[in-house]
Structure 1
Amino acid sequence: MTIAASLPQSRGEKLWDLLEKAGCYLLGILWVLPLLYSVWMAFHAPEYEVRFELFAPLTLENFFNAWNAAPFGRYFLNTFMLISTILVCQFVICTLAAYAFARYEFRGKTLIFMLVLVQLMIMPEVLLVENYRTISQLGLVDTILAMGLPYMASAFGIFLLRQTFLTIPRELDDAARVEGAGPLMTLWKVYVPLARPIYVAYGLVSVSYHWNNLLWPLVITNSVTTRPLTVGLQVFASPDQGVQWSVISAASLMTSAPLLVGFLLFQRQFVQSFMRAGIK
């Protein structure tokens, strides 16, 4: 009786697993098709945008046209400067804050940490007007610093590093204290090296977000000399010149290539770090 009852359940589980895999493959295909179509248009002449030929001639003309249509060199430089500034500030501020929340006891600690977590629930677009007013009063409009200033402290980074620091045994603090290390030296020599995979994962998340961020840089910048890549791509959607999808695809591939390469290089560290932190 028990064996007979278990057979239908086993078949049902196999059927459910099959349906799950089929759904995953279907979603994967739906996600990959637009990307493949974009790559196709980028490496082929404009006449192949709406028709497919297996042995159509490849060309790099779209990439040259995209590079010459806008100051991409300046856009790349602005983007790298922006992301580097934000990432360095986030690492310093988030590390110090996470270490304080993980290892020190002070009045209002729980309340302050709850306020940090509340920031995770606030969309950046909600603060757009107030951030612009603040930046304008500081006289920083249309500068790279203005684009990065609202993001130099990250609630997600503080939370992620705090969870990691809590898993480090306190005996390491005692050992470092015996060796004569102060709090900052302990943080630099003990906690930061042990949390290196977390820094890699958070760095990829932060870089990906700010690399693709459009709304705030669009609002706060006015000139070509300060615009990042995301804002610079708008030049290809000019209604006067028409929309050239092959050139847009080439420009999009150029801007997304560094992110894709970075993720492929650090994919293992990215996944393992979140698993160690207990975050899904």
Structure 2
Amino acid sequence: MTRFAPDIDRWLNTLGAWALAVLWVLPLAYAVWTAVHPAAYEARFDLFAPLTADNFAKAWNAAPFSRYFLNTFILVTGILACQLVLCTLAAFAFARFRFPGRSALFALVLLQLLVMPDILIVENYRTMRQLGLVDTITAIALPYVASGFAIFLLRQTFMTIPRELDEAARVEGSSYLGLLWRIYIPLAKPTYLAFGLVSVSHHWNNFLWPLIVTNSVNTRPVTVGLSVFSAVDSGIEWATINAATLMTSGPLLIAFLLFQRQFVQSFMRAGIK
């Protein structure tokens, strides 16, 4: 009985994983089915139903999705660039320098991870209004240009790098910035990739804050644009709405499938489960 217990546990874990996978795949499969077939087939399954791309063309032409995608691209790349610069410097300082109050400051960084961003929406909106930034892409990005999670993740990675490399580089006359650029950043590439996927996916899908701080098409990201499209065009078939949904979520899904191995390995190296 004891010999078969591990096998039973493994089978139960496998069945549980398959059950969760099916629950996740079914809505996606329905969205794909309705998006690539005429509207007449959205409520019934027909193996020989004709395929069509008209739903994607109709969705693209029904709303300014080109502008929404441009706004989203500018938003996520701008936030990620600021986060990588600021968080790399902060993580390097926490990992390698000793200075008064280092533990207290790092505790404040970790405390940020416990604060829900939605709690700060009112104060953030007041700040953006006082700065005159309401209804701008800058207003969406500004509260997120630094990330406690990125600082923590990069600090954990930097602390695994042997200090002997620091000493060797310093003997060769390298500055701290040169040490960071030539040694630490190249060795932390998997971590940067993992955080990049997390950051891009989060801000690509972020909805509430962009909805509150934007008012026009020129500044709306794709998630807000999709919700406005679905609400205003309520008479459009579900096939068209699902096609629009796939257009907005497809890039993230493809990116994760391409980089899933590096994504998982980087978190394993950082000691995060």
TM-score in terms of structure 1 length: 0.95
Task: Provide closer, same or farther for how the CA distance between residues 228 and 247 of structure 1 changes in structure 2, counting only shifts above 3 A.
Answer: same
Q: 1:165 aligns with which of 149, 158, 174?
A: 158
CA–CA separation in structure 1 for the residues paired with 2:154 and 2:268: 13
Equivalences for residues 10-49 of structure 1 within 5 A: 10-49=3-42
Instruction: Determine whether 1:269 maps to 2:266.
Output: no
Partner of 2:75: 82
Residue of structure 2 in register with 1:132 after alignment:
125
Task: Give 4+ residue runs of structure 1 displaced > 4 Å after superposition.
Answer: none
TM score, norm. by length of structure 2? 0.97
- Asked if 1:63 is matched to 2:63, the reply is no
Q: CA deviation at 1:92?
A: 0.4
Does the Cα contact within 8 Å between 1:70 and 1:235 map onto a contact in 2? no
**Counterpart residue type for residue 39 of structure 2:** P
Listed one character per residue, the Cα deviations across residues 21-43 of structure 1 (whole Å, up to 9, x for unaligned) are 22221111111111101100000
Aligned amino acid, residue 51 of structure 2: L
Distance, in Å, in 1 between the alignment partners of 2:9 and 2:272 is: 26
The residue number in structure 1 matching 2:187 is 194
| In the alignment, structure 1 residue 233 sits paired with structure 2 residue 226 | yes
Counterpart position of 2:206: 213
Asked if the contact 1:165–1:191 (Cα under 8 Å) also holds between the matched residues in 2, the reply is yes
Counterparts of 1:203 and 1:161, CA distance in 2: 12
Q: Percent identity?
A: 64
String of CA shifts for 1:48-72, please: whole Å, max 9, x gaps. Answer: 1111111101111110110001111
Residue 100 of structure 2 aligns to which amino acid in structure 1?
R
Q: CA deviation at 1:178?
A: 1.3
Deviation at 1:107, TM superposition (A): 1.0
What's the offset of the Cα at 1:240? Answer: 6.4
Q: For residues 149 and 9 of structure 2, what CA distance do their matches in structure 1 show?
A: 35
More displaced stretch, 149-158 vs 44-53: 44-53
Structure 1 residue 216: Cα displacement: 0.6
CA distance in 2, matches of 1:241, 1:198: 42
Q: Deviations over 1:6-32 (max 9, x none)?
A: xx1123332232222222211111111
- Distance in structure 2 (CA, Å) of the matches to 1:86 and 1:178: 36
Distance in structure 2 (CA, Å) of the matches to 1:25 and 1:98: 38
Structure 2 counterpart of 1:3? none
Q: Is 1:182 aligned to 2:181, yes or no?
A: no
Gaps of 5+ in 1: 1-7
How many residues matched?
Answer: 273
Q: State which of 106, 119, 136 in structure 2 corresponds to 1:113.
A: 106
Q: CA RMSD in A?
A: 1.2
Contact 1:101 1:109 in 2 (8 A): yes
Say if 2:87 is the partner of 1:100: no
SS in 2 for 1:36: helix
Deviations 1:192-247 (A, max 9, x none): 11101100000000001000000010000000001010000023322664353111
Moved more, 254-263 or 146-155: 254-263
Q: What is the distance in 2 between the residues matched to 1:217 and 1:13? A: 48
**CA distance in 2 between partners of 1:248 and 1:262 (Å):** 22
Where does the alignment leave 5 or more consecutive residues of structure 2 unmatched? none
Task: Between 184-193 and 235-244, report the one with greater CA deviation.
Answer: 235-244
Q: Which moved more, 1:96-105 or 1:263-272?
A: 263-272
